[in-house]
Amino acid sequence: MPLQPPCPICNREAGVPIAELRFGEKPHLPSAITLHGCADCDFAFTWPRDPTGYRDYYAAVANDTAQRHGQYRNLPQAEILAGLIASRPIRSVLDFGCGGGGLLHVLAERFPQVRFLGFDVNANFPSDLPNLRFSDQFPAAGHDLVILSHVVEHMADIDQIKDLFGLVGDGGLVHIETPDPKLYAARPQPHFGYYVDRLHINHFSQRAILKIAPQGFDVVAGGTYAMPYALGEFYPAQYVVLQNRRAEQAVPAAIETYLRAEAPRWAEVRAQLRDRKFFVYGFGDNFHRSLLPGGPLHGLEGNVIAVIDRNAATLAADGQARFQFVDPTEIVRIDGGLIVCTVSQFSKLDDFFRETYPRSEVRYV
C-alpha cells in the first residue's frame, strides 16, 4: 500500500483518501488531487500541495473585484468585526488578502479614527476614504487587528500561515475566518461537490485553526454564521479571534513573580508576631502553608501556644506532637490571648470571635 501524505499541521501520516478529484488543465494548478483527513487535528487537506504553483496562480488572476466598496454583501461579518473594533483600543487594522476591499470600506466608514490597510497581490487601487489605503506590497508588522478572511484555506504552506501571526503587535488580535466544513452538508450549493475543489486546499475546524496558532496566542472569541453568498443563499462560515499575549509572562514565571511579591507583605506580618505568643485558629492548608519559607508563621512554631480546633482531642491523640491543641470551648484559657486566624471565612468568624473571646485580639493571615 503506498504511503499516505503527511498532515500539513502535525506531520503524521494521513489516512486513505476521502475523495479523488480530477479537473481540467489550468496554469499553475494540479489537475488531479486527493482529499485526505487527519483525525488528530480535525482537519482535511488536498494533495499534492505546490505552494509556488498556487502563489503564481493567484498572482495571475484578478481577486474578488466584484466586492469592491459598496457591492460588499457580507454584512454579518462586518458586524462581527465592528463589535470587535468598538470594544477594544484598536487603531490599526490590516486585512491580509483583502480582495476588492469591500469589507474594509464598510469598516473604515464606520470607524474614521482607525487606520485601515488592505493587502492583496492585486490591491494596487486607490481609496476614496482618508483612513483607508490599499497596497500590493507585503505589509509591515505591528497592527492592532489582522484580518485573515477566507485566506488560509487557500494557502498551501502551513508555515506561511503561521508567519502571518507575526503581523500583529503585542496585545493585538488575529481574526481568522474560513468555511465551516462541519456545516457543508447543512448548506448545499447548486453544484455537485462544490465545497471540495482544488482552490480550497485546507478544510479547517476551529480546533485545527488553534493548532496552527503560535504559542502565546489565546482565543478570545469565535463562532459560526451563515455568510450571504451569490451562488447559494448562504455559505457556512466560522471564525476564531486570537490575542497576541506573547509579551506576557509565561505561567511558571508569573507564579514565581507572585511568590516573590508575597514575600515582603508577609515578612512584615512575621515581624509583628515574632515577639508574641499566640493561639492559632484553623489547622488546614492555609495554616500549613503559612509555616513554609516566606509565610507569615515561618520560624514562629515556638510562638504557638496551641491550635484552636473542635477536633482537639482527636488531633492530640493522633500524635500531632508538634503543636498543642485546645478545644474552642476552653474560653477561660483562650480569651485574652492573641488569636491568629488562618481560616478563609473571615467575615463569618468576626461575630464568633467577638462573642466567644471578647478580650482577644484577632489577626487574620
Mean per-residue pLDDT over the chain, rounded: 92
List of residues 6+ apart from 69 with CB closer than 8 A: 100, 101, 102, 105, 128
- DSSP H helical ranges for 165-250: 206-212
* Apex 58 CA angle, 122 and 14, nearest 5: 145
Intra-chain end-to-end CA distance of the chain, in Å:
68
Can you tell me the mean pLDDT for 101-108? 96
% residues pLDDT > 90 (the chain): 78
Q: Over range 88-105, report the average pLDDT.
A: 95
For residue 183, what pLDDT is reported?
96
- pTM for the model stands at 0.78
**Residues 206-211, mean pLDDT to the nearest whole number:** 96
In the structure, what pLDDT confidence band is assigned to residue 233 with cuts at 50, 70 and 90?
confident
Closest by Cα among 87, 80, 122, 76 to 101: 122
Domains of the chain by start residue, with CATH: 63-244 (3.40.50.150), 263-364 (3.40.50)
